[in-house]
Amino acid sequence: MYFLHLLLPPSLSLSLPLFLSLSSPYQNSRTMVFPKEEKLVHSIRLSSVGPGRVTGTDVVHIPSSLDLAMKLHYLRGVYYFSAQATQGLTIKGIKESTFTWLNDYYMTCGRFRRSPDTGRPYMKCNDCGVRFIEGKCDKTIEEWLEMLSEDCELRNLLVSDHVIGPELSFSPPLLIQITQFKCGGFSLSLNWAHILGDVFAVVDFINKWGQMLAGLQKDHPEPPKSNTVILETPMKADREPISVRRVGPVGDHWIYCPGRKKGTFTFHLTSSQLTHLRSKFFGHMKSGRVPPYESLCTILWQCIANVKEEEPKVVTICKNDPSKRAIGVLSNSQKISVVRTDSSIKGSDPCEILGLLVDQAMEETAQIEEAVERDNGVSDFIIYGANLTFLDIGEANLYELELNGLKPIFADYAIGGVGEEGVVLVHPGPKGAKLSGDGGRVVTVILPENLLPALKGELKKNDLLLDENIFS
């Protein structure tokens, strides 16, 4: 059975769109009933939650150039919590906690518009709310994760695949889903429009909710002191960026549809596996540097090259840039670089590939910003999958989100809107959990579906993939 209802604080009832019920929380509301479907995840209920206070009149947020470059991408994270972690938590209580949390992050409750003069997208901070999805599953979390190892598509039942558009004014940039499992635990997922901020921003955002739920929140982010954001003029670029690809135009339906269907799988690398991998490079690098992340990317790049008809000779590297990130402020503050070679990756010495990644990466953030501004922010681009892309989120605080003092059993992110060349995400692994043991790293690969069986074979040859370490 499906239900649609609205849940917002009484203070916001008059600011709602006319097609929604104006009822206050927990009173009777209009309910839309859909035909019943037999699913692994069932009893779906849809509602909206928003900030506990009115944001203001005519408050807008102007996305930066890099925000707009990410417009067609979406971050989709899933966190699994045990029954002990969720003990005493109710859906009603969780929704109530969001009222205060969203006061500080009211942009996530707005809706996009376009400037009537230029067509450039901007956010109208009108408190329309975050979409909240509830569901139930008759499996335990342990059973579910075992099923994921056989069918990675099941993950899509726990996180929405919503995209913005084609009606911008009706499309929420954030959807949150809680799915309750038979064992008493639940999954918490987010479908986050990348235009709001990168993965480090969304992780900080959800961690702040956990702190607020526990009564520990400090240092509330300051709301804007005016209704405009002054954009810095991008630096003059000396060349065209090769880390992005122009697509579309897509109009107001912010989705990129590549030709081939994408497949996803996730696997865990233990600390001992990572140490063994790095040991292959010790004593062979001229600089003496063997950074863990680049070492892993070296082997993954070569494995992917071995299964593609046309080997990728250009890769994009995305990393956090702490120097550009302000605490509590949502932003796309990644450092985006490219590495290119004219040599064959398949036949190259891995030490030579590592040398390229360490010493030859060219940052292109300024070039991307200029490319966006050249068309006043109205053109459409993709970054993830324009080239084979490696996204380093190993230092993101995925396991700082705690419920009742307990960390998630497992957490990971995937990306929507990935181009043909694919993307590899490297996450932190949970320490002390039976699924991941010693932390290490969790790797999610998104590539054309037909390439995945051969890639798994290559990973096994290189001692990166063990059957017991595959999550999906």
More confident residue, 329 or 129: 129
Outline where DSSP puts E strands in 341-471: 362-363, 380-382, 388-392, 410-416, 423-428, 441-448
Neighbouring C-beta atoms of residue 17, cutoff 10 Å:
13
Whether the pLDDT of residue 114 is over 90: the answer is yes
Q: What is the mean pLDDT of residues 25-48?
A: 59
**Looking at residue 419, what is its pLDDT?**
96
Report the chain's mean pLDDT, rounded to a whole number.
85
Residue 141 tokens read as: 């979390």
User: How do 174-180 and 130-137 pair as beta strands?
Assistant: parallel
Confidence (pLDDT) at 471: 57
pLDDT tier for residue 163 given thresholds of 50, 70 and 90: very high
Question: Given a cut of 90, is residue 207 above it in pLDDT?
Answer: yes
Question: Which amino acid is residue 431, in one-letter code?
Answer: K
Chain segment 274-326, per-residue pLDDT in tens: 988 888 887 666 656 788 999 999 999 999 999 999 999 999 999 999 888 88
CB atoms within 10 A of CB 236: 8
pLDDT of 469 reads 59
7 close to 95: Cβ distance less than 8 angstroms? yes
Query: What is the residue extent of each domain of the chain?
Result: 3-213, 245-469
Q: What is the mean pLDDT of residues 193-218?
A: 89
What's the rounded mean pLDDT across residues 47-51? 94
Q: Confidence band (pLDDT; 50, 70, 90) for 467?
A: low
Distance of CA 64 to the CA centre of its chain: 18
Mean pLDDT of 12-28: 29
User: Which one-letter DSSP state was computed for residue 166?
Assistant: S
Query: Range with the lowest mean pLDDT among 1-10, 50-59, 377-386?
Result: 1-10
Cβ atoms 316, 390 nearer than 8 A: yes
Could you give the C-alpha distances from 104 to 15, 173, 194, 340, 401, in angstroms and in order? 18, 16, 19, 42, 18
Q: What DSSP letter does each residue of 268-306 carry, written as one string? A: EE-HHHHHHHHHTTTTT-SS----HHHHHHHHHHHHHHH
Contact 207, 345 (CB under 8 A): no
pLDDT bracket for residue 156 (50, 70, 90): very high
Q: What is the per-residue pLDDT for 284?
A: 64
pLDDT band at 239; cut points 50, 70, 90:
low
Cα–Cα distance for residue pair 418/444, rounded to 1 Å: 13
Q: Cβ(192)–Cβ(131) under 8 Å?
A: no
What per-residue string of b and e applies to 45-59 under the rule 16 or more CB within 10 Å gives b? bbbbbbbbebbeeeb
Distance CA 75, CA 465 (A): 25
Residue-wise pLDDT for 412-432, tens only, equals 999 999 999 999 999 998 876
Percentage of the chain lying above the pLDDT 90 cut:
69
C-alpha 27/C-alpha 16 separation (Å) is 16
- Say what the pLDDT of residue 25 is: 29
**Local structure of 58: helix, strand or coil:** coil
Q: Is the pLDDT of residue 160 over 80?
A: yes
Model pTM score: 0.88
| Residues 76 and 192: beta-carbon distance below 8 Å | yes
Asked if residues 204 and 212 have their Cβ atoms less than 8 Å apart, the reply is no
- Whether the per-residue pLDDT at 18 is higher than 60: the answer is no
The torsion angles phi and psi of 242, rounded to 5 degrees, stand at -105, 5
Is-contact 368 243, C-beta < 8 A?
yes
Please give the torsion angle defined by the CA atoms of residues 27, 29, 34 and 35, in that order, rounded to the nearest 10 degrees. 50
What backbone torsions phi and psi does residue 27 show, to the nearest 5 degrees?
Answer: -90, 175
Name beta bridge partners: 78: 189, 412
Order of all β-strands in the sheet with 314-320 = 262-269, 441-448, 423-428, 388-392, 314-320, 334-340, 362-363
pLDDT of residue 230: 39
> Does position 27 have pLDDT exceeding 60, yes or no?
no
Q: Given pLDDT bands bounded at 50, 70 and 90, which one contains residue 19?
A: very low
Give the residue ranges of DSSP H helices in 63-214: 65-69, 83-86, 91-104, 141-148, 199-213
DSSP reduced 3-state for 349: coil
Give the residue, 438 or 279, on which the prediction is more confident: 279
CA distance 436 to 431: 7
DSSP label of 431 = B
Peptide bond before residue 223 is cis, with ω within 30 degrees of 0: no
- Stretch 69-87: mean pLDDT: 97
CATH T-level topology, domain 245-469: Chloramphenicol Acetyltransferase (3.30.559)
Classify strands 388-392 and 423-428 as parallel, antiparallel or unpaired: parallel
Residues of the chain with pLDDT > 70: what percent? 82
User: What's the pLDDT score for residue 288?
Assistant: 62
Q: Note whether 3-213 and 245-469 share their fold.
A: yes
The tens digit of pLDDT for each residue in 323-348 reads 888 877 899 999 999 999 999 999 89
For residue 159, pLDDT beyond 80: yes
CA dist 160 → 89, 193, 203 (Å): 22, 11, 17
Per residue in 348-400, pLDDT (tens digit) is: 999 999 999 999 999 999 999 999 999 999 999 999 999 999 999 999 999 99
pLDDT score of 148: 87
Residue 238 has pLDDT above 90, yes or no: no
- pLDDT classification of 232: cutoffs 50, 70, 90: very low
245-247 and 111-114 strand pairing: unpaired
Q: What band does 161 get if pLDDT is binned at 50, 70 and 90?
A: very high
DSSP secondary structure code for residue 222 in this structure? P
For β-strands 441-448 and 380-382, DSSP reports them as unpaired
pLDDT score at 282: 74
Question: Is it true that the peptide bond before 249 is cis, omega within 30 degrees of 0?
Answer: yes
**Domain 3-213, CATH:** 3.30.559.10
pLDDT on residue 142: 94
